[in-house]
């Protein structure tokens, strides 16, 4: 019996099976390829822009480059305020992880150890003096972040140590370079320079001259890989940082130091609350020294407890100057033709007025016959009021305006009083009398220096100058603008006033202290009463001062010293030794030739 034929041999069935699998495989490959093509098109075309930006944000890091703050220098180039390099240590929390550190011993043996994130942060804190707990919080608050501050403002040594830690395998640590402020001479001129705080300039020239000193920050961009490590050669500077300018002052740093030491020593000896010293060049109006006690060290302002000591009291502290004002009153009388150097007055110890007011001299004396010169020599309140009343209150007010007492100085120092002398219409009868001898009117030590600069400069008031120039990073020099000079009184009136107040030094009660061998000195002492803050009138506190010019025959320098509320010596005798010390130093430092002519012999009595 014949069998039915089979569908195929085993071999043919195997061939068909292989073909089917190949076909299916090809179909799968084609399908997958289609998916990939579609996905690739979606990524490279449809979502290209969005994905590129996302990847750019992850790999491209923008970093600020800081423009160094400019330098403040004394007139001779001595740096009073400068910038030093500091670093901020930062981290990329998204890449913060435990690391394996390899250390090599001196014998070449290598040892591997594991440092956790907390171990790394503890090490950074140990190196920099930072707070490890605060660093840990900064890293863990936003674990996906690419940036977090760990510690700011570390010095170069700490930076190098942290950099070594990074090089050992801690790739997620980074650095920002920044400038920090340094004051190499400490408290010398610290009341003038001011200081920088966490929020920027806080006081003094650091604040008022910020437009000169401030640097301009730049920007750079670098890329990093998926592991957070910066890619070598990827840094691109987008904007160059520009350093701030150099602010050159008129201050002589050596003289400033000496003046600060002199007033500090005497202030502590007489128990004064504060003291100032001002040295000004007569022919230019430049301030060569403006010293304050207590002084502030800008490197550590926390040591200064009274906020009033953070600035310069010589510029900012208003006070009733007392008898130093009499020199200006005398110049007014001479300029207006109301008196001469030998005008006569019969001067009792005290004087009572119809409205019930009374004035008296500092010490009791019988009635004397004094000239205007003698009145200045003896510093008689009664005498100056007898001659000064020949001028109206408005006339005297107008002269005070010419002497610059109605407005801040041309320096524009931070904290200067914005309101000077009150209008004459606001003076009552007693105030009108008191202003002739420096009571009932407020001013500053720098203003008083300006009065004597004017008298020494033949009556021509020059703008007070503290800043000489600003030199930008590109070398451009900008000179400090100044106001126009003002002829306050005639040359004859000014010169005669200087000659008259020479009598204070040659024949006055303090002549033995004020005299400087070899030089003619013209000076006026002041012992001013201090008004109570409660409106109760004047108490027992005093502000003592001496203001003077040398050499008197050709005035070159003004020195003004003040001591506020001394407790052991409450007369101008407390200020005289310091005036002598500073003026002597000035004449020596600037090699001023000794005087060759004697002082004029002006009658002081009649």
The angle formed by the CA atoms of residues 93, 98 and 102, to the nearest 5 degrees, is 125
Lowest mean pLDDT: which of 20-24, 118-122, 254-258?
A: 20-24
Running DSSP on this structure, what letter comes out for residue 87?
A: E
Whether residue 5 is predicted with pLDDT greater than 70 in this model: the reply is: no
Encode pLDDT of 535-551 as tens digits: 777 888 999 999 999 99
pLDDT 10s digits, 228-269:
555 555 666 667 778 889 999 999 999 999 999 999 999 999
Task: Identify the three-state secondary structure at position 319.
Answer: strand
> Residue 57: pLDDT above 80?
no
| Selected residue with higher pLDDT from 91 and 199 | 91
**If pLDDT is split at 50, 70 and 90, which confidence band does 505 have?**
very high
pLDDT at 346: 98
Q: Is pLDDT at 398 greater than 90 in this prediction?
A: yes
- List, for residues 68-89, the tens digit of each pLDDT value: 889 999 999 999 999 888 899 9
Sign of CA dihedral 464, 466, 469, 473: negative
Complete domains list, the chain, with CATH: 63-249 (3.90.1310.10), 253-302+309-589 (3.40.710.10)
pLDDT given for residue 243 in this prediction: 82
8 Å CB contact between 424 and 396: yes
Report, as an integer, the average pLDDT of 171-176. 88
Strands (E), 240-308: 246-249, 274-281, 287-293
Q: What is the dihedral of CA 316, 317, 322, 326, to 10 degrees?
A: 0
For the residues 430-434, what does the mean pLDDT come to?
96
Cβ burial 421-444 (10 Å sphere, 16+ → b, else e): beebeebeebbbbbbbbbbbbbbb
Query: Of 58-67, 163-172, 245-254, 507-516, which range is least confident?
Result: 58-67
Please determine, for residue 399, whether its predicted confidence score (pLDDT) is greater than 90. Answer: yes
428 CB-side CA count, 13 A: 6
């Amino acid at each position: 019996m014949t069998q039915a034929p089979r569908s195929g041999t085993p071999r043919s069935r195997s061939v068909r099976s292989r073909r089917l699998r190949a076909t299916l495989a090809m179909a799968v490959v084609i399908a997958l390829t289609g998916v990939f093509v579609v996905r690739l098109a979606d990524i490279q075309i449809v979502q290209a822009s969005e994905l590129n930006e996302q990847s750019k944000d992850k790999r491209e890091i923008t970093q600020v480059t800081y423009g160094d703050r400019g330098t403040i220098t004394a007139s001779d180039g001595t740096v009073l305020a400068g910038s030093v390099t500091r670093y901020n240590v930062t981290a990329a929390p998204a890449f913060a992880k435990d690391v394996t550190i390899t250390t090599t011993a001196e014998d070449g043996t290598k040892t591997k150890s594991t440092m956790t994130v907390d171990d790394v942060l503890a090490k950074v804190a140990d190196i920099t003096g930072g707070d490890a707990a605060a660093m840990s919080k900064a890293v863990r608050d936003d674990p996906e972040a690419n940036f977090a501050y760990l510690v700011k403002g570390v010095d170069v040594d700490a930076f190098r140590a942290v950099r070594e830690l990074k090089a050992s395998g801690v790739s997620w640590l980074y650095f920002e370079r920044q400038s920090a402020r340094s004051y190499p001479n400490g408290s010398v001129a610290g009341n003038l320079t001011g200081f920088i705080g966490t929020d920027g300039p806080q006081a003094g020239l650091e604040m008022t001259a910020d437009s000169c000193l401030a640097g301009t920050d730049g920007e750079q961009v670098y890329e990093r890989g998926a592991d957070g490590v910066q890619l070598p050669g990827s840094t691109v500077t987008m904007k160059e940082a520009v350093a701030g300018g150099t602010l050159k002052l008129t201050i002589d740093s050596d003289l400033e130091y000496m003046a600060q030491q002199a007033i500090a020593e005497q202030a502590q000896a007489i128990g004064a609350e504060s003291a100032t010293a001002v040295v000004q060049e007569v022919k230019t109006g430049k301030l060569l020294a403006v010293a304050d006690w207590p002084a502030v060290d800008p490197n550590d302002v926390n040591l200064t407890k009274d906020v009033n000591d953070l600035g310069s009291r010589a510029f900012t502290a208003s006070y009733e100057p007392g008898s130093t004002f009499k020199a200006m009153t005398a110049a007014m009388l001479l300029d207006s033709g109301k008196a001469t150097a030998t005008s006569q007055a019969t001067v009792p110890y005290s004087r009572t007025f119809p409205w019930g007011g009374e004035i008296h001299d500092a010490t009791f004396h019988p009635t004397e016959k004094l000239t205007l010169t003698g009145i200045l020599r003896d510093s008689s309140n009664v005498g100056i009021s007898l001659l000064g009343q020949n001028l109206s209150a408005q006339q005297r007010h107008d002269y005070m305006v010419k002497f610059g007492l109605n407005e801040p100085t041309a320096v524009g120092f931070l904290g200067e009083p914005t309101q000077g002398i009150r209008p004459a219409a606001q003076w009552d009868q007693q105030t009108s009398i008191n202003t002739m001898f420096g009571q009932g009117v407020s001013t500053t030590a720098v203003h008083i220096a300006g009065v004597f600069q004017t008298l020494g400069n033949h009556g021509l008031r020059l703008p007070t100058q503290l800043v000489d120039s600003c030199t930008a990073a590109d070398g451009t020099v900008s000179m400090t603008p100044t106001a126009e000079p003002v002829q306050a009184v005639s040359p004859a009136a000014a010169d005669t006033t200087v000659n008259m107040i020479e009598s204070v030094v040659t024949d006055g009660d303090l002549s033995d202290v004020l005299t400087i061998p070899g030089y003619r000195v013209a000076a006026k002492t002041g012992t001013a009463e201090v008004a109570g803050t409660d409106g109760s009138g004047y108490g027992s506190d005093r502000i003592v001062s001496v203001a003077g010019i040398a050499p008197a025959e050709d005035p070159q320098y003004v020195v003004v010293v003040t001591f506020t509320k001394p407790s052991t010596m409450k007369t101008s005798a407390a200020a005289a030794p310091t005036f002598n010390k500073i003026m002597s130093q000035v004449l020596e430092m600037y090699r001023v030739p000794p005087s060759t002519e004697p002082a004029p012999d002006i009658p002081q009595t009649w």
